[in-house]
Amino acid sequence: MSQSPFQKFTVKKKNSVVKEEIRQQKKKTRAEKNAYFDNLKEEKYQKMLAKRALKSGQVPKSATAASPVAAAKKGAAKIADQKTTDHAMPLNKFLAHCGVASRREAVEIITGGQVKVNKQVITEPGYKVQPTDEVIFNGKKLFVTKNLVYILLNKPKDYITTTDDPQGRKTVLQLIQKATDERVYPIGRLDRNTSGVLLLTNDGDLTQKLSHPSYEIKKIYEVKLDKNLTKAHFDEILDGLTLEDGKVYVDSLAFADSKDKSIIGIEIHSGRNRIVRRIFESLGYDVKGLDRVMYAGLTKKNVERSKWRYLSEKEIRLLKYMNESKKGKKADPEMIPQKPKDKAAAPKEKRMTSREIAEAIGEAIVPEAPKNPATDRPVRVKAAPKARKFKTHSEKKKYNADKKNDKK
């Protein structure tokens, strides 16, 4: 039985949880090892300073003096921090860097008058915040986040995709309490009854990118319907449906199981609210289950339901540079060569012959070869055979012998 193109995203990997624990343990061990050797280098440097001081009779330097290696690391970290803090930035971007909310959500917070800069309420999202300014939100002073965190969560049902719920319902942040002390927020939304891949981070720039429609971030969902999907509705979804908020197109559609026509795999890049559910509900189907199995190229293969993992450095780089070509401006239509609609109106240009090219560039013209009247092609003229100097091999042998004797 041939495997569905969507089945690879839903099949659980064997021993995936064990592999993820081993990966995290290796990462922790590597960090401890680096810290151990850094301490050894620091102790060696301090001993060297004390030894030099005894020989020269000088007072030894303070024990707190850092070695060149430690000073270099500290300086690099300080420069990295200054890159994010020592320049003016828009107020909505500042809130995103502080981990308060995404840039879009920050705009609503600012326009609602919830943010004060230097004890004055600012309602303009583009207001430039200086490094020395004091920004207050909900009575707390904000600082730019220095440690960026990227988490992939396999969201279960009955959890709200929000940072806080006034009704006291369970939120996705309760599932990642042990992951980080930083304030993170989800990228996009999953309904309460929708499960699957959900990214959480305090990187406002990445959140802005993945949430913006121009980047066309693709998602794959596994949909379970109350009845089999008919061939007519299958083709109708592929051709595009008209919903109350406009036309919607899917990138791909397939049956996850060749025997069960009620389980569908759908790939889509639209980020409209409840778009997948509304597609099937508009055709008279009831969605019994909805699971996001892929988001922006990331899957939940290595993560059990309600569990999470950190993104690798490679995954973070891929997300940050994903679909960068789509960010540019569209080309001017007048600069794009248009194909003629009527083929008869635009006859195909005839290629120049070698004789015509020679005449055009002023080269010497070679007389044309005679043509075959039947095919109107040049007749291939065979070259005349070269005259043989010797008729037989014995004549050639005798000639070479005489030539050799003459030299003597």
Q: Which residues are catalytic?
A: 191
Instruction: Give the pair of three-digit tokens for residue 362.
Output: 């002023």
Which among 356, 230, 330, 341 is positioned nearest to 283, based on CA atoms? 230
Which among 331, 326, 184 is positioned nearest to 269, based on CA atoms? 326
Strands (E), 84-218: 89-90, 115-117, 120-121, 128-129, 135-137, 140-141, 150-155, 185-186, 194-201
The DSSP element (H or E) to which 51 belongs, if any, is helix 16-56
Instruction: Give the pair of three-digit tokens for residue 168.
Output: 């006291």
DSSP class of residue 112 equals T
Residue 154 and residue 142 in contact, taking contact as beta carbons nearer than 8 Å: no
Cα end-to-end span (Å), the chain: 89
Residue 223 and residue 280 in contact, taking contact as beta carbons nearer than 8 Å: yes
d(CA 73, CA 69): 6
Q: Is 121 helix (H, G, I), strand (E, B) or coil?
A: strand
Instruction: Give the pair of three-digit tokens for residue 177.
Output: 């309490």
